[in-house]
Structures are given as C-alpha cells and as structure tokens.
Amino acid sequence: MTQKTPIALMMDHQSIRKFTSQKVPQTVIDTCITAGQAASSSGFVQVTSVIQVNSPEARSALSKAAGGQAYVESAAIFLVFCADLQRNQQICLRQQQQMPTGFIEQTLITSLDTALFAQNVLLAAQSLGLGGVFIGGLRNQPETVTKLLNLPQQVFPIFGLCLGYPDQNPGQKPRLPLSMVLHQDQYSNDGLANLEKYDKKISSYYQQRSQGKLNLTFSQHIIKTLVKEARPHMLPYLRNQGFCMR
Ligand SMILES: Cc1cc2nc3c(=O)[nH]c(=O)nc-3n(C[C@H](O)[C@H](O)[C@H](O)COP(=O)(O)O)c2cc1C
C-alpha cells in the first residue's frame, strides 16, 4: 500500500458502505482508537467512550434501530461513539465531590470532543487501508441504542462508525466552493452567488453516480433533508440521560 500524505488522505475522503469479508485485526482497531484519543479535548476532560459492538445480535438490532442500514451488520467493525460525562462524575465522587450536570455547554463539549475523536479514528483507519461511514441513524432510536449498550446516565450515543476493507469506490462528493465557506473578517452571504454553479455540479455528480436515476441539485437536496423536523425526540431523550436541563 502506498502511503498518502496526511493532506491527500483528508482530501481523498469518501464514505464507504460496502466492505470485503476480510477481518480487521484488533491491533489495527486499537491503534485507530489511540489515534482518536490523541485529538484535542476541551479543557482536557476526555469525555468520549467508544463501544465496539461484536455481538451479531446487537449488530442486527442496531442496524434496525438506525433505520435498516445493512452495513451496520455487514461491516467488519462497528463502533459507537458516546459522549461520556459519567466517568468524570465517578472521578469526582471518589473525592467526595459532585459535578453539577445538565448544562447545555456540557452537551456541546462532549459532542465536540467526541466528533474530533471520531474523525481522527476514521482518518487513522483510512491511512491503514480501511474505509468507513459514520452512522448518525443511531439517533433515530436513541433509547433502543441506550438499552442495548447498557449506557448509564450522563452517557449518550453520538453516532456509529462502520469500518472495514472497502469493496467499492463510489467517488468523491464535490464540496461547496471555498468562496461559500471561507469568510474574511465578517460573515457574508456573497458566496451564495456561486450556488447555481454548485447546484449544476452536484446535479451532474448525482446523475453520474446513479447512472442517470437521480437528478438532484444541492438546493433540492437541502430542501429534502432539512425542510422537516430534526429528530425532535432528541431533547426529551437527552434530558432523560441527564443532559440539556439548563
Ligand atoms: C455525523 C454523521 C452522521 C452520518 N450518518 C450517516 C448514516 O446514518 N448513514 C449513512 O449512510 N451515512 C451517514 N453519514 C455519511 C454522510 O452521508 C456522508 O459523509 C455525506 O453524504 C458526504 O459523503 P462523503 O462522506 O462520501 O464525502 C454521516 C456522516 C456524518 C458526519
């Protein structure tokens, strides 16, 4: 395997949803998780736990909970990234201290740290020849996931990650032009002038990827994806787990 430079590795990213049957050695997974741990951590609080789900029964249940995503079952490896304040609560209790909980800021910190951790894991895995895809679909049924994985209070699943040796090369999704995401000094909507061009780019990308079956601009994709409620069950679920009270 030829080694890519770190920048090439990042630029070449594509989600992989089809895997060969080749097993992934545990040492490789351990290395990827250790690389995840090396990511920055807000205030060095280290608020991530990762659950490697090996049981075929649990995989099958998680695949269903994620809306029937078959690759949750078929990937060689499935990891669930959890925001975890519970471990630090235990540490405080050992010193007869109680950590106040329920702050939105804690939800942000645990989510941010965990996302940075997980992206490191994926990049490390990709650098070792693996491919993968994040599974936010786990938040379709967070309570089912919580029961299956025995998650205590102060822990919640952010997303899953399927990993394995790629058995597809789906092609890269073209991102927004730099002019739409990089603002100089102040926020500006000037970049939207480039939307039409990007719409055309995404439309031809989808057509090519679907052999003409899908013809969707980015604007249409955004309407389809965002003009609806966004998992409204998450607020009561998070409150139930001890988050988002204040
Ligand atoms: C937090 C997060 C959750 C995601 N959840 C899912 C998912 O449940 N199922 C899926 O097939 N892809 C999922 N994806 C992958 C995105 O669909 C994918 O990253 C996006 O379409 C861009 O494609 P690319 O990764 O190939 O560049 C998720 C990505 C992120 C960052």
pLDDT in tens, 86-126: 999 999 999 999 999 999 999 999 999 999 999 999 999 99
Categorize the per-residue pLDDT at 1 as very low, low, confident or very high, splitting at 50, 70 and 90. low
Residues with CB under 6 A from ligand 1: 13-15, 17, 66, 69, 133-137, 159, 173
How many C-beta atoms surround the C-beta of residue 38 within 10 A?
Answer: 12
Q: How far is CA 157 from CA 19, 137, 139, 151, 210, in A?
A: 24, 11, 7, 8, 32
CA of 135 to the centre of ligand 1 (A): 7
The closest-lying atom of ligand 1 relative to the alpha carbon of residue 170 is 26
- Domain spans of the chain, in order of start: 6-171+228-240, 178-215
The closest-lying atom of ligand 1 relative to the alpha carbon of residue 158 is 1
Q: 145 and 138 in contact (C-beta within 8 Å)?
A: yes
Report, as an integer, the average pLDDT of 54-68: 98
Mutate to test the pocket of ligand 1, among 17, 135, 139 (most ligand atoms within 8 A of CB): 135
Mutate to test the pocket of ligand 1, among 9, 15, 82, 210 (most ligand atoms within 8 A of CB): 15
Categorize the per-residue pLDDT at 2 as very low, low, confident or very high, splitting at 50, 70 and 90. confident
CA of 136 to the centre of ligand 1 (A): 7
Q: What is the pTM of this model?
A: 0.97
CA of 175 to the centre of ligand 1 (A): 13
CA of 66 to the centre of ligand 1 (A): 13
The closest-lying atom of ligand 1 relative to the alpha carbon of residue 175 is 27
CATH class for the domain made up of 6-171+228-240: alpha beta
Structure tokens that stand for 160 in this block? 């899953």
Residue 57: pLDDT over 90: yes
Report, as an integer, the average pLDDT of 213-231: 96
The overall average pLDDT reported for the chain is 97
CA of 15 to the centre of ligand 1 (A): 7
